[in-house]
Chain A
């Protein structure tokens, strides 16, 4: 019986042991009146010199190039995009200007991963063009992630249009 009592007391002590709470400071040392230490106002800067007000410049391929579209979460060029790729290689071969390859995604990714996915799409297109002998130093890739949607309706066909690579000449 004594053993039982001891063991029960030990268990109860163990359970209650972790519930100690710090005693409040009652001596009133901090009971003073003073100004707060919150920082002043922050700046507000305007970088509104980016492109034109028309988002059209960024929404599709230009300068004769055709956009390449991708499957969900995919960055390989599908066979039904071969005609567009062949066309783009012809356009690239016809000039000597620098080419900008822009990777884009639908809205279903988050944070950095979506930007990396857009970049993988741009890289797939760049590698495909380079494989036809076009100098890689003529090409620059930029991923726009989900930021440059050409379609904002909540539909599958709209999301399809956003998973794309746009190509244009660098201005």
Chain B
């Protein structure tokens, strides 16, 4: 009996270790960790759009289990209706958009109505209303001492084709309720945020004979020429302190990855291969890069030291992994999985790491492309196409919560977050 118990105990530990990384086990644990929270709308004119954005922010944070009912009630009192007593917190809010946009939020303890936090937000324009909501939920998240979700306050920059040979670069909030074209006219591609505060972005212009990389301050319009190259030129990544860029360029007609030091203007060639090397991303504290190459005869993810040296394969799955993003040692890549050259395309996203050959699926249906990590690496943005409809998707890697927002723009060329 004693031996049988030891065997059973060993099997239990083995099973826990074997499936310890399995997402389905993590979900149960995380569900218990999230705080139950409800929204009470005290606006003079209730808006389902405002409520939906608040709900999205709470969901995608990974820290809350929001009640999806749009409750309407008094803003100023501390009274909690009996139906919400089972929640942990209640957010009472009022959004007014008569002149500009004003938002007042109060965070109350659901059990006794104690006020934990109160703040008002205002902005002169109506269009940027979603950013007020993101800021409020980000603040509430911080007050409750959860890990920061400041990435919900960031712009998404993206390029869309409008007609053959023409494109526009736009910025949006992460829900795409706010959208604004910031560069139009001609062919302008591959927007990439230049700094952590998102005051400037890099983009490639096709206005001249050669593709040219510019840096644009999106608040004052100052434009600086950075580099030009025959063939193609893309700013693929920016170092954390903004001093170095990973560029895909082809000064001799051969697409390779270069590191540009912005202060000294020195360019260092990081890859040197006669096929295709593109999509460089800093990993491992910027000591290495991952990139997409067809050096094995098909597109796949590889890595090498920024100082040069040997190239090694990172992903041992799929036969057409043609785009990737990285955060720290985490890698997300899109893999084309349909057998047909044309027709319905299946692209799925997979999560991998520079330190192991394990991969796990992030998506399983439709066409999922342009994966981009949030600034803290906890969430992945992607473009999802199912049939004729497009959506912007987000997956929280910790809580495994996913959200989709309708995306009505034309064909996307590139996205950065």
Contact = CB atoms under 8 A, between A and B. Distances in A.
- Decide whether A and B are members of one complex: yes
A47 B219 contact: no
Q: What is the interface residue range for chain B against chain A?
A: 35 or more
B5 A21 contact: no
B210 A140 contact: yes
Interface string A25-62: 11010111111111111111111111100010011000
A122 interface: yes
A148 B411 CA distance: 13
Given A28-B115, A38-B121, A148-B164, 14 more contacts: A19-B33, A25-B144, A30-B117, A31-B117, A33-B119, A34-B119, A38-B128, A39-B199, A46-B185, A112-B236, A112-B292, A116-B255, A140-B209, A147-B413
B120 A33 contact: yes
A42 B178 CA distance: 12
A37 B347 CA distance: 39
A133 interface: no
Contacts of B206: 50, 142, 144
Interface stretch (B40-48, B77-85, B186-194, B309-317): B186-194
Nearest to A73: B341
A68 B351 CA distance: 39
A146 to B, nearest CB: 8
Contact of A43 (B35, B211, B221): B221
Interface string A93-118: 00000001000000111111101111
Interface of B: 5, 9, 12, 29, 32-33, 35, 89, 109, 114-123, 125, 128, 131-132, 135, 139, 143-146, 153, 161, 163-167, 171, 180-190, 199, 205-207, 209-211, 216-221, 223, 230-232, 234, 236, 248, 250, 253-255, 275-279, 292, 299, 322-323, 334, 341-342, 345, 347, 369-370, 411, 413-414
Contacts of B139: 30
Contact of B187 (A38, A43, A147): A147
A58 B185 CA distance: 15
Main secondary structure of the interface of A (DSSP, over half): loop
A11 B13 CA distance: 9
Contact of A51 (B186, B231, B277, B279): B186
